[in-house]
Amino acid sequence: MTKREAEYKVQIVPDYKDNPLIEALPQIWSSDDVVDMLSHNVERHDGERQYDAHYRVHCLQQLFQYFQPLREHVEIERHLSISIRQGYLHRNPLSSEYASSLVKGHETIKAKKSYTNLKAFRPTSSGFTIIGLSGVGKTSAVTNILSLYPQVIEHTSYHGVPLVLKQVVWLKLDCPHDGSVKGLCMEFFEAIDRAIGTQYLETNSKRGGTIDIMMVRMAQAARLHCLGILVIDEIQHLSLAKSGGSEKMLNFFVTLVNTIGIPVVLIGTSRAKSILQGDFRQARRSSGLGSLLWDKMKNDAAWDIFVLSMWENQWTKSIVPLTADIKDALYHESQGIVDIAVKLYAMVQIRAIVLGKESFTHSDFHDAADECFWSVKPMLDALRSGDVKKIEAYGDITPVKIEDYFMAYLAMLPPKNDPPQKRNEKTLSEKSVLKLLELDVEPMLAKRLVGKVMAEHMDIKKVADVVRLAYQSFLAIAEPVDEEVTNDGDLRTVDGYEDMDVANMIEEKVW
């Protein structure tokens, strides 16, 4: 949730002038602006390819943050931009009409009347619907676009006129799984509370009352806080609503538009099409709601752009070029559904990294799909056939979960730490070299002498023993043995003994 203080901007469109709700919104963006703001690809460097497999598995999670705007995203942003601004045209908080509507809404609540008794308004925007297959990116698209707008704008004064108001630009709710109107109302109150710190949910839970009264309270809260647009996702859940529930909820959405002027955006899968073309057909005619049908991507230039941009997110040690065979294999297995395509690309990489192949080909996409996509295979086969009846018979595509797939491959990663024996040998060698350096032995010579000692004496365990033998070799190299010396091998008779004794490298019992 983003919140900011109102900054009023000069408006180019005449209808948008002198309205603090509109002037406080961001500027109207061009298509290029929208693409630039929505594009998200985590910055990475090729050095990550050389990381240990354990680290690259973590880097791979960045792929799920990848977002490439498509034509549909630009179109949705334009619809939202127009709907919000048009919805505010006749809801100026400085007008007498706004104050009058609040008073009459309060009277309706006090009299415990139905929401159908709310005062008629002059709707200037109705919103629209977005219908498409599961996984094409409807929800993520709307969520990312809404994030471009501040959710709450705090007003204190407008050009010297006092205006104390927390303007809620947008709210996004999920339709309850059982399609109940009461559940939707409760979600609305909770969302308002999160946005501006009110206690609508607690208050309405205690008050109780009929669903009609609760809907009036919901409408009054939306009017009081100048709600710009209401987005309802997962609208296909209305198909589960009990006796007349779906019709009542859809009619309430139209009431929000017609009596309060709040645009409503409905998002659903193909299963929601029957609801919106059946129960909602008459409501759509009266409210003027438009539809945006979002189909799977085609294997065309747009798909090429999407895949080419996604391809930069690669963590195998070998750079795998994007070939026509790979692009076609990815499309065949995902059928142009973005969610499936991204997950499949991640699956292919984790297999290559964990199994030590560090590369992949087009056949790996087919193998990974066979391993993980068995649950959605019938629906994908229906899409491949192009048969409308088969596609409608399967309804929506089940969301693909790859967590178990990832965990199965992660379990095959080799242990990260070296064996203890090897680690101890390395430590013994390093410590011995450091001691020789303290005795003024040149670094390269010290390493060579220690290596020679440890190679000749595999069972040696103590640093003092390694240093004693290595230093003997050093002295032998530095000064030839005097033939008159009778204490052969006794270090106490040669130069350097005192230095070794001071460095605690001499164990008395050895001598």
Residue 116 is predicted with a pLDDT of: 66
- Quick check: is 44 in a domain? no
CATH number at 167 reads 3.40.50.300
Do 404 and 465 lie in a common domain? Answer: no
Last residue of one domain, picked from the residues 294, 311, 346: 294
The answer to the question of residue 54 being in a domain is: no
Residues 168 and 184 in one domain: yes
C-alpha distances (whole Å) from 104 to each of 107, 119, 165, 224, 261 are 5, 7, 19, 12, 15
Q: What is the pLDDT of residue 332?
A: 94
Residue 60 within a domain = no
Q: Residues 218, 261: one domain?
A: yes
What is the structure's pLDDT at 393?
Answer: 66
For residues 230 and 264, the answer to whether their CB atoms sit within 8 Å is yes
DSSP 8-state code for residue 238: G
Per-residue tens of pLDDT for the chain, all 511 residues? 588 999 999 999 999 999 999 999 999 999 999 999 998 766 666 678 888 888 898 889 888 888 888 888 999 999 999 999 998 988 889 888 888 878 877 788 787 777 666 665 565 667 888 988 888 888 889 999 999 999 999 999 999 999 999 999 999 999 888 878 888 889 999 999 999 999 999 888 877 777 778 888 888 898 899 999 999 998 888 776 665 667 777 777 777 777 677 888 989 887 777 666 554 444 444 344 467 888 889 999 989 999 998 998 999 999 999 999 999 999 999 999 988 999 999 999 999 999 999 999 999 999 999 988 887 888 888 888 887 777 766 656 666 777 878 888 887 887 655 444 444 445 688 888 888 888 888 887 888 888 888 878 877 888 888 888 988 888 887 655 444 444 444 545 445 555 555 455 554 443 3
Q: Quick one: which H or E segment has residue 268?
A: strand 264-268
Tell me, yes or no, whether 389 and 263 share the same domain.
no
Which of 357, 384, 410 is at the close of a domain? 410
Residues 132 and 256 in one domain: yes
Taking Cα atoms as reference points, which of 52, 68, 69 lies closest to residue 60?
A: 52
Does some domain include residue 367? yes
Comparing CA positions, the residue from 145, 152, 167 lying closest to residue 3 is 152
Are 230 and 370 contained in the same domain? no
Considering the domain architecture, whether residues 141 and 242 belong to the same structural domain is answered as yes
Mapped onto helix, strand or coil, the DSSP state of residue 156 is strand
For 361, the domain range is 301-410
Are residue 281 and residue 323 in the same domain, yes or no?
no
Residue 53 forms part of a structural domain: no
How many structural domains comprise the chain? 3
In a domain, 48, yes or no: no
Same domain, 232 and 116: yes
Instruction: Clarify whether residues 251 and 198 are in a common domain.
Output: yes
Residue that terminates a domain, selected from 361, 384, 410: 410
Same domain, 153 and 19: yes
What pLDDT, on a 0 to 100 scale, did the predictor assign at position 169?
97
pLDDT at position 288 is 47
Q: Is residue 307 part of a domain?
A: yes
Taking phi first (over 0 means left), then psi (-120 to 50 degrees means alpha), and beta for anything else, what does residue 504 get?
left
User: Are 32 and 123 part of one and the same domain?
Assistant: yes
Q: Looking at the domain assignment, is residue 478 inside a domain?
A: yes
